[in-house]
Structure 1
Amino acid sequence: MTRKASLTTATLALGLLLFLGLGGVAPAQEVILQGDFAPADQAQRFVKALATGLNPEEMTVTIDQSPTNGEIRHLYVEARGARALGVRIDRIAMEAFFVKLTDQPDRPFSALEGLFHCSILEEDVNRFLKDATAGSGGDSWTKLSVRFADGGLKASGTFTPKGKGVSAVVRVEGRLSIRDQRAVELKDYTVKVNGSETDMEAIRRSIDGAQPIIDLSDMPFPVKLRSISTSAGRLTLDTQRSPSPFQGISYRFRP
């Protein structure tokens, strides 16, 4: 009697899995791709488009099954050492559902929903800023550097206002805050300047003009940031749930 009940339970469970479509998940497979590889199918063309856009040191792309009519039900992407506007991103992870592949090089896919994680090291930001000049409206910032610590951001740089030859070393400190679930801005910041002739209004106008300092509005799926942290020289952004790898067809890419 017990064995009959167990078999019945197992049959019902298997039927439920098949009904939900979980029985269709592809078994674990791994494909190694390197450098300027020639894509063999649509999935590999997608991986190459991601590699071109992210320019990572290494990347893993996992899909639950081969694309059907340009669509994927479940996608996971993890990239180490990607580049965004010239800045190295230590780690990016994305998990997306109901994915539609596109032919757009700058946006190779779109999705109805997704999860996101990103971590950036201050040493990578400072390496980029070392010889950079930033600014808008004629104002300029040089010799910029940042520190991620204690839940906030500390930055310093040389500020030169538009049309004036007077420069000053400026130090800014504030907390980082999530805006509209998709952007990060510097809030409640304080400014310290070493030159008495410096126009404080111009400095604040320049800082406010650079807000938000991170904007994820152009992500291929609606990002809903939930947490931001800065500690030990690292800035981390997360949605409510973190992206998680799963068993499927994995493409591992290295330049």
Structure 2
Amino acid sequence: MSRLLRFQLVQALRQKAFVLYLLAYAVIITSECLSFRQNPQNDFAKAYAGGKFLIYSLQLQAALIGPLFFLLLAAFAINLEKTAGTFHLPLLNGLSKKQLLHSKLLYLVILMISSVLLMSLFAFFVSGLLNGFDFVLLGINQALGNILLTLVPLLTTCIAAVLLCLYTKNVALTMGIGLLLLLVDNLVNQFMAGFVSKFSFLFYNYAFSLYNGRPLPAKELPRGIGLSIGYGLLFYFLALRRIQTMEY
């Protein structure tokens, strides 16, 4: 399984989509940091002053575009291989279906965590170089806490992406369904946040990264973590059941 995982990670770098994704966000982060420095009295700049600028980089990936991109990576790793007829080939080399599923999940999770951490580090150094590291260390504890919290629902998002890919036939269908679900979720979160927070793990991609503009009450932390873990386990077992019943 480790050999397959290494191969997939190398392929992700060769396809350049992941690298271009990071470069695009690096440009956005640098641009916003320069903008905040030029106009520090701006309300937006004040909201992300000091270490909170790391939260801005986190929000870029926790909202609509980030999950959609991780879904695209999952579609490349699963749907493209199913279309090409190569998805089952590792099974011929002695890999079990469970190991095949684990390799796909780990591949996506590693890229997701790498993306979040790399962009957070980049935001830290860019802000530190432009504003001074003493400035960027202000509020850094809160930012680190939000990063760790947001990784939990993002992990569940990755498992959900793999599950969706296992049930769909091609990349276009996967992305169409994924985009529709994320757009509906984004819309509902804006107008019925209190309602969806009771059952939607996707809500906490926004809430834990403070994307919805309101501090998350401490009493909602256990609910958000519990929902994310619960859905993650459910999606994992559904994905395992699906791959076990797939015929090649």
Coarse TM-score class (shorter-chain normalised): under 0.3
Q: Which has the higher contact order (CA 8 A, sep 6+)?
A: 2
Structure that is richer in helix per residue: 2
Determine which structure has more spread, i.e. the larger CA radius of gyration: 1
